[in-house]
Amino acid sequence: MDTPSPVDVAVSTALDKERTATDIESIKRAFLNNLFYVQGKPVSLATQHDYYMALAYLVRDRMLHRWNGTAESYTQHRARTVCYLSAEFLMGPHLGNNLINMGIYEPVRQAMEELGLNFDTLLAQEEEPGLGNGGLGRLAACYLDSLASLEVPSVGYGIRYEFGIFEQDLRDGWQVERTDKWLRYGNPWEVVRPEWSVEVKLGGYTETYTDDQDRYRVRWVPDREVLGVPYDTPILGYQVNTANTLRLWKAEAIESFDFAVFNQGNYYGAVEQKVASENISKVLYPNDEKTAGKQLRLEQQFFFVSCSLQDMFRILKGQGMAVEQFHEKFAIQLNDTHPAIAAPELMRLLLDEHGLDWSLAWEITQKTLAYTNHTLLPEALEKWPVSLFGQLLPRHLQIIYEINNRFLDLVRMKFPKDAARLARMSLIDESGDRYVRMANLACVSSHTINGVAALHSELLKETVLRDFYELFPEKFCNKTNGVTPRRWMVLSNPRLSTLITSRIGDRWIKHLDELKAIEPLADDAGFRAEWRAIKQSVKRELAGRIHRQHGILVDPASLFDVQVKRIHEYKRQHLNVLHIVTLYSQLKQNPSLDITPRTFIFSGKAAPGYHMAKLMIKLVTAVGDMVNRDPDLRNQLKVIFLPNYNVTNSQRIYPASDLSEQISTAGFEASGTGNMKFAMNGALTIGTLDGANVEIRDAVGAENFFLFGLTAPEVVALKADGYDPYSYYQRHPMLKDAIDLIASGHFSHGDGDLFKPLLDKLLYHDPFMLLADYQAYIDCQETVGRAYSDADSWTRMAILNSVRMGSFSSDRSIAEYCSDIWKVNPFPVGLVDYGEIGG
């Protein structure tokens, strides 16, 4: 513990102990105080949301002690800091998570119940910050939790989108989007820091000049500037004093710029500029795994990167450190290429603003940056038209050209007379219209490049980044993804967590490997019965919700067969549908057939412009409409599409699942993280050898995993051979039946055209090889059905899945990033106990 300074003592006596106490009576008093004085409502007029706000503020008060102490301690000791740069942070609701990590979940629940309030209703009031599309954004959120829990100094830097990922409604079975107005009723978790605002330049031109030491210099003369205002959210570690920061930038107009126009008498022009500036942080682009290629998107990327780097220089200076020490103070991780503009921006700041020479600036840049790749899909590899890039960031384009010249010299030395290689590796694509290639830029500018699962990291080296691997083999490594057990077990599955803790204590929450100690209990009939009872009760709860919200009755004893994730052809939700239609046909042809009763649950958003994905949603809902109402099926099949998949809803789904669908075409899903959340909660996986499925299967045991389908090399080989999907349709009668039934209009009120685009693509192109994997999938699902009918053996497998998932904690991933990439150590924060000193 740090020795308290006189100021500490002075502050501590001024601190209000009412704002730190965590006993039940103090919590109740603080709650009623906040309701009255912060929320400004008497009890008689308060809504559930007012109660939520009063509660959130008392929790925030109790975090500030740690947050301030952490900031003070890092500053004092100039701690080496990880900066995680990400265009997305899919945090999910904060309240429950903060209560868990602070260790006050139970007293707070009790205090609320004693006041006659329903605690779960209060938790449900929070509008989740959905500032991400899916896996990549949620991974960033899990990593912040682990960084704080491992006591690693770190800042998450991103954009405070006014509108996060759209909300999804279903109308007539089709997706319709609504804007996500998450800030409508205020955000109690953030603190705005206007004093640390920074200015960001855009557009204009560059000019050269000689400085007072007669050195040749470049100056960027922008044609507009915007203000970046930081909004900070504390990120509490689990049962430690560390509270790190998520710093999100909001774009605002710079007053002086407004006034310039205003003074010319152009009032509307001034307001227009204000609107244009604020547009930068207005809305999250909803395209998962596909680049938009829009100028505003590049503006967003540059905006948050420039703000963040300028912030780092401010911190460096504030701690009395030299610009030359930048890479000693900070390790920057690029979450995919969205922040890759950090390379030329850091170079510009070092060269133009801080006067370093090229070689030192480049050394610092390379020693600071590391790059994580999240996808092999070509449509997700970012590239910007050179013309657009040069108009918005003229100085950066110059710097990129210079990086490229020097880099291509290196390539020429290592691979003489290899023009094709040079053209592939250039930072500029010149094969047609000219583009800046962001992945190439990230590879050249980083000291380390990683994939997110073992298979993915290997495929990166063999395919999209092969040339870079041949040039820089030492830069490449793997960091298999992980997820935080605090949110994905303790918070979302309290009953299962309590059962585990009752047997092995609670150390597993921080050391997930220790779940292994439960393994012998898989053979204990009593333990299995308890496990099963918990699964049943969680399934009953979800069934109740489905009934209340969608009017559909599902049997909690049926097999809950679940596929929840973004809707994408490579993830193959339509393969799942083909299985459902096959079962449906079999039951219709033989109504006395007994199958394992199943409830198929789907959830997920489609990118608004991705028509095929939207048609896939319509297909699921259309099949559900027929299946759910058909008395012939004797309730053996139900198909539900749960709208608006988000963190909040997913927390109710994973714990209630029996079967986890991880059925992407092998070689296409970089890792997957939902696969981990399911398995931790005791769902068995049906899956391909794709992404992290491979490692999950190794961990839980092949005998506890339902494997099917082509392997990644087989997918490549079959494609090279000239894959003919139509021949599979002709050769497999059940497949033909299923496709013909959909094509007949059976699920679309006789409209045989509705699903034609989807079916034609399967029959004549099938880039994701559903038809090749169909029979293996059907056969494997039959094995699943039989396995589920032996409840005891199923439960045994479920337990083994869960307790063997130790290495998929994001704590393991982050520990590896820290030691192998960031070279940063934990820095425990000793808290001055203000309460004690204050007496």
Provide, rounded to whole angstroms, the least separation between the CB of residue 282 and ligand F55. 17
Query: CA-to-CA distance for 179 and 199, rounded, in angstroms?
Result: 28
User: Residue 136: helix, strand or coil by DSSP?
Assistant: helix
Alpha-carbon distances of 734 from 314, 340, 502, 586, 589, rounded to whole Å: 65, 48, 48, 9, 12
Beta-sheet strands, E only, within 635-786? 637-642, 659-662, 684-687, 706-707
How distant is the alpha carbon of residue 83 from its chain centre? Answer: 16
CA neighbor of 665 nearest in space, from 739, 573, 581: 573
Provide, rounded to whole angstroms, the least separation between the CB of residue 673 and ligand F55. 5
Beta carbons of 249 and 303 less than 8 angstroms apart: yes
CB-based closest residue to ligand F55? 135
Query: CA-to-CA distance for 66 and 102, rounded, in angstroms?
Result: 10
> Could you say whether residue 374 binds ligand F55 (CB under 6 A)?
yes
Between 146 and 481, name the residue whose CB sits nearer to ligand F55: 481
Between 241 and 446, name the residue whose CB sits nearer to ligand F55: 446
Provide, rounded to whole angstroms, the least separation between the CB of residue 366 and ligand F55. 24
User: Parallel, antiparallel, or unpaired for β 174-178 and 167-171?
Assistant: antiparallel
Binding mask 260-289 for ligand F55 (x = CB under 6 A): ---------------------------xxx
Query: CA-to-CA distance for 581 and 337, rounded, in angstroms?
Result: 40
Between 294 and 317, name the residue whose CB sits nearer to ligand F55: 294
Beta carbons of 545 and 652 less than 8 angstroms apart: yes
The footprint of ligand F55 on residues 106-145 (CB under 6 A) is: 133-136, 139
* DSSP assignment letter at 675: H
* DSSP assignment letter at 283: B
Between 313 and 668, name the residue whose CB sits nearer to ligand F55: 668
Query: CA-to-CA distance for 639 and 554, rounded, in angstroms?
Result: 9
User: Which tokens hold the place of 372?
Assistant: 């994580």
Provide, rounded to whole angstroms, the least separation between the CB of residue 610 and ligand F55. 12
Between 348 and 456, name the residue whose CB sits nearer to ligand F55: 456
Of positions 452, 496, 617, 741, contacts ligand F55 by CB under 6 A: 452
User: Which tokens hold the place of 337?
Assistant: 């290429």
Provide, rounded to whole angstroms, the least separation between the CB of residue 437 and ligand F55. 14
The footprint of ligand F55 on residues 65-104 (CB under 6 A) is: none
The footprint of ligand F55 on residues 376-395 (CB under 6 A) is: 380
User: Is the torsion defined by CA of 611, 617, 620, 621 positive or negative?
Assistant: negative
3-state SS, one letter per residue, for 97-116: HHHHHHCCHHHHHHHHHHCC
Query: CA-to-CA distance for 65 and 835, rounded, in angstroms?
Result: 10
Binding mask 634-673 for ligand F55 (x = CB under 6 A): -----------------------------------xxxxx
User: Which tokens hold the place of 621?
Assistant: 């809902």
* Residues designated catalytic: 374, 565-566, 571, 673, 677
Query: CA-to-CA distance for 343 and 396, rounded, in angstroms?
Result: 9
Binding mask 322-361 for ligand F55 (x = CB under 6 A): ----------------------------------------
Between 116 and 378, name the residue whose CB sits nearer to ligand F55: 378
Of positions 291, 536, 649, 775, contacts ligand F55 by CB under 6 A: 291
User: Which tokens hold the place of 150?
Assistant: 């491992």
Beta carbons of 568 and 288 less than 8 angstroms apart: yes
Of positions 154, 375, 648, 693, contacts ligand F55 by CB under 6 A: 375
Query: CA-to-CA distance for 384 and 342, rounded, in angstroms?
Result: 15
Query: CA-to-CA distance for 807 and 811, rounded, in angstroms?
Result: 8
Q: How many residues sit in the footprint of ligand F55 (CB under 6 A)?
A: 20
Beta carbons of 595 and 632 less than 8 angstroms apart: no
Provide, rounded to whole angstroms, the least separation between the CB of residue 481 and ligand F55. 5
Between 26 and 688, name the residue whose CB sits nearer to ligand F55: 688
Longest dimension (CA), the chain: 92
Between 374 and 796, name the residue whose CB sits nearer to ligand F55: 374
Beta-sheet strands, E only, within 654-714? 659-662, 684-687, 706-707
Provide, rounded to whole angstroms, the least separation between the CB of residue 568 and ligand F55. 8
User: Is the torsion defined by CA of 307, 309, 311, 317 positive or negative?
Assistant: negative
Binding mask 4-33 for ligand F55 (x = CB under 6 A): ------------------------------
Between 438 and 601, name the residue whose CB sits nearer to ligand F55: 438
Provide, rounded to whole angstroms, the least separation between the CB of residue 376 and ligand F55. 9
How distant is the alpha carbon of residue 597 from its chain centre? Answer: 33
CA neighbor of 308 nearest in space, from 338, 274, 275: 338
Beta carbons of 140 and 87 less than 8 angstroms apart: no
CA neighbor of 23 nearest in space, from 110, 115, 99: 110
Alpha-carbon distances of 521 from 260, 490, 528, rounded to whole Å: 73, 20, 8
Binding mask 458-497 for ligand F55 (x = CB under 6 A): -----------------------x----------------
Query: CA-to-CA distance for 374 and 368, rounded, in angstroms?
Result: 20
Between 129 and 672, name the residue whose CB sits nearer to ligand F55: 672
Query: CA-to-CA distance for 57 and 188, rounded, in angstroms?
Result: 6
Provide, rounded to whole angstroms, the least separation between the CB of residue 294 and ligand F55. 11
Provide, rounded to whole angstroms, the least separation between the CB of residue 663 and ligand F55. 13
The footprint of ligand F55 on residues 802-821 (CB under 6 A) is: none
Beta carbons of 518 and 795 less than 8 angstroms apart: no
45-53, 151-159, 373-381, 501-509 -> range binding ligand F55 (CB under 6 A): 373-381
The footprint of ligand F55 on residues 666-725 (CB under 6 A) is: 669-673, 691
Beta carbons of 309 and 350 less than 8 angstroms apart: no
Provide, rounded to whole angstroms, the least separation between the CB of residue 346 and ligand F55. 22
Find the angle CA(286)-CA(289)-CA(292) to the nearest 5 degrees: 55
Provide, rounded to whole angstroms, the least separation between the CB of residue 147 and ligand F55. 16
3-state SS, one letter per residue, for 171-186: ECCEEEEECCCCCCCC
Provide, rounded to whole angstroms, the least separation between the CB of residue 300 and ligand F55. 11
Burial status of residue 724 (CB atoms within 10 A of its CB: 0-12, 13-18, 19 or more)? middle
**Footprint of ligand F55 on this chain (CB under 6 A)?**
133-136, 139, 287-289, 291, 374-375, 380, 452, 481, 669-673, 691
